[in-house]
Amino acid sequence: MSDKRIFNFNAGPAALPLPVLKEIQSSFLNYNNCGMSVTEISHRSKYFDDIINDAVARTKRLLGLDDRFHVLFIQGGASLQFAMIPMNFLNNGKKADYVNTGTWSTKAIKEAEILKKDFNVAASSEDKDFSYIPENIKFTENATYVHITSNNTIKGTQWQEFPDTNGVPFIADMSSDIMSRPLDMEKFGMIYAGAQKNIGPAGLCMVILRDDLLSQAEENLPSMLKYSTYSSKNSMYNTPPCFGIYTVQLILKWLEEEIGGLAAMEKRNVSKAEFLYDFIDASEFYRATAEKNSRSLMNVTFRLPTEDLEKDFIAKAAAEGFGGLKGHRSVGGCRASIYNATEPEAVEALVKFMKSFKKEN
């Protein structure tokens, strides 16, 4: 069996750091000399206590979180959060703003509609097919929160800066760019992220929730749908996704100890993205789809002159060991997802292939 690995540009589940995969492999049958696999140990054991507590501690160090913030691990992905957020925070006449920047924002808005909650779409980039991030937004005074999707995987856009909301906290879906750069956490009442794009495998969602927002959360909800259930039990009210949390812990360790933190990670991510965008812009063959000042560092979306060429490009790229370059089925085209774990060498190899394909065509 070949151990050769491709250049993985999948949008999610996505590439994981090779050192993390090797550490999982080496300890999989006998975790920490306990005589069991990490998938067999009890979530009530000291072994798992150490894993989840270390994951929480590393999250707080990397993002500079103080004791006001709770780090939770919840199943159901980011999609469950679309409903949990309005269920917990939009009761008793409370209102929120949503900014619509693409598919995942639209889905979050739909859940608030289904629940018949009071909200306002403060801005949208739908008028230009979600190719940009709105500016000069007029937010609702005294709203409970402003919901945004920080990075839009399908359209390849990302919030470069977060606007002034007059003190209203952001709730941000950061599924595809969490831990990719430092953040001013004073702006955020809550961050949530499905793990499978930038911090782990599919199967869990990291939720970072500030005390002042948690204190407003609705308690008259089923146990598994209220945040206090998770915050009061260190995410272990029921059996959590143990293997997923273990992998997240190792990725946070890699970020902290091998990469050197989020400022170093941001520098690496900017360098990778600029290298790829600069080639695309100069090529006169490939065309980036997002407006320049809204472009994502995580998902580079682009088109070729014809759809037939795009199909040929994706097929030949796959044959050469480049995976995941097909654009989302809803928009077509091509997409290179270059998350934290994507090495600079992978981007360099992709550009070399793109040059060769252009020359042939």
pLDDT confidence tier of residue 1, bands split at 50, 70 and 90 = very low
Tens of pLDDT, residues 176-217: 999 999 999 999 999 999 999 999 999 999 999 999 999 999
Percent of the chain with pLDDT over 70: 99
Cα distance between residue 133 and residue 149, in whole Å: 10
Query: Rounded mean pLDDT of 332-346?
Result: 98
| pLDDT recorded at residue 3 | 73
> What domains, with CATH codes, occur in the chain?
7-18+261-360 (3.90.1150.10), 22-259 (3.40.640.10)
Here the tokens at position 4 are: 């050769």
Q: Compute the mean pLDDT over every residue in the chain, rounded to the nearest whole number.
A: 97
220-252 pLDDT tens trace: 999 999 999 999 999 999 999 999 999 999 999
Helix runs in the chain, H state only = 18-27, 46-63, 77-89, 103-114, 211-214, 227-232, 242-253, 262-283, 307-319, 344-360
Structure tokens at 65: 């979180």
Closest CA to 309 of 257, 258, 350, 361: 361
- The pLDDT tens digits for 59-83 are 999 999 999 999 999 999 999 999 9
Q: What is the mean pLDDT of residues 324-344?
A: 97
What is the reported pLDDT for 292? 97
How much is the pLDDT for 2?
58
Residues recognised as catalytic: 104, 173, 197
Question: Number of C-alpha atoms within 13 angstroms, CB side, residue 301?
Answer: 26
